[in-house]
A and B are shown apart, each in its own frame.
Chain A
């Protein structure tokens, strides 16, 4: 019996097993090798918009830039507001306008690094685009990943954005000066972080009052010392 199908080309099943993030992973690996060779600690900051990434960096640069050579790459959708806030504090700032892209990718970091002399740096911060979903999936080749959670945004954030928190080496609880007026339930927030991200260190601070900033600097210093033993993200 003949059927019309027999005249059409045969169906082929192509088994590909292709990782859709492979290209980002390759760029991230290249970045990581470059950072290691230069001996620079690279810290990727992730949070929802407004959690206090730029404020934390403003204070950190003012306090540390004369101690450690530091630079910042800022990812922003449209503006270079964050880059302007960080300017004039002794650090090189490289803004990346991501346009409509809601996260930074490793290739963008690779290009931004062309504007930096990595071998002269000790510390490179990356302020990711304000978003707790997409940036979590993109390894930038960083040595450490920090997720920020402010006292004004709800204790259940870790449960709502598990991927970001699970990929964090540290969770920084910001705006502790607002904890009381915001009715922030500290123990509940810490318990949620530990439940979702048991691997993460927890640091509480206020970039406004300076409370907890020393602990943050000690954490950075420890990371600087043990650079090579860095956690490897996706």
Chain B
């Protein structure tokens, strides 16, 4: 599990951004988690619960946006959203390796005052 380390990084970045904007309290953190990022949303929530006491995000909401996977076929170059982790092109039926989206691990935004 490396979700704790990632959450720590998110809280650190959020706190820094909030303070730079002259805010003292974080009300909401919005994260985007790609379906292929290898991160479990539930583990991230648990890490958030464990880490937030005593920080300026102590009473914040955590919004997790799960980003779907988008691939491109290496033969016909069509872009498609696969249903599972076998990325079969809907046109050619061949497996694809190119991942355009779905790997994201991002702190999108912070609401603070």
Contacts and interface: CB of A to CB of B under 8 A. Distances in A.
Contacts of B38: 133-134, 136-137, 163
Contact of B10 (A20, A136, A166, A196): A20
B100 interface: no
B97 A198 contact: yes
A137 B37 contact: yes
Given A20-B6, A194-B95, A198-B94, A14 B36 contact: no
Interface of B: 1-2, 5-6, 9-10, 13-14, 17-18, 21, 23-24, 27, 31, 36-39, 74, 85-86, 88, 94-97, 99, 103-113
Nearest to A10: B113
Interface in A93-127: 101-103
Nearest to A164: B38
Interface string A21-42: 1010000000000000000000
B80 to A, nearest CB: 15
Interface of A: 8-21, 23, 101-103, 133-134, 136-138, 159, 162-163, 166, 194-199, 234
A178 to B, nearest CB: 27
> Ordered nearest first, which 8 A-B pairs have the shortest CB separation?
A162-B85, A199-B97, A198-B95, A18-B107, A20-B105, A134-B2, A163-B38, A9-B113
Contacts of A102: 1-2
9 contacts: A14-B17, A14-B111, A16-B13, A16-B107, A17-B108, A20-B10, A20-B13, A103-B2, A234-B103
Contact of B99 (A14, A136, A166): A166
A18 B13 contact: yes
A12 B10 CA distance: 18
Contacts of B106: 17-20
Contacts of A19: 104-106
A11 B112 contact: yes
Given A159-B85, A162-B36, A163-B38, A14 B97 contact: no
A16 B27 contact: no
Nearest to B27: A11
A10 B1 CA distance: 37
Contact of B113 (A12, A101, A162): A12
A13 B111 contact: yes
B62 to A, nearest CB: 14
B36 A166 contact: yes
A189 B108 CA distance: 39
Contacts of B14: 16
Given A16-B110, A166-B36, A195 B95 contact: yes
B99 A20 contact: no
A14 B95 contact: no
A16 B108 contact: yes
Given A134-B2, A195-B86, A8 B113 contact: yes
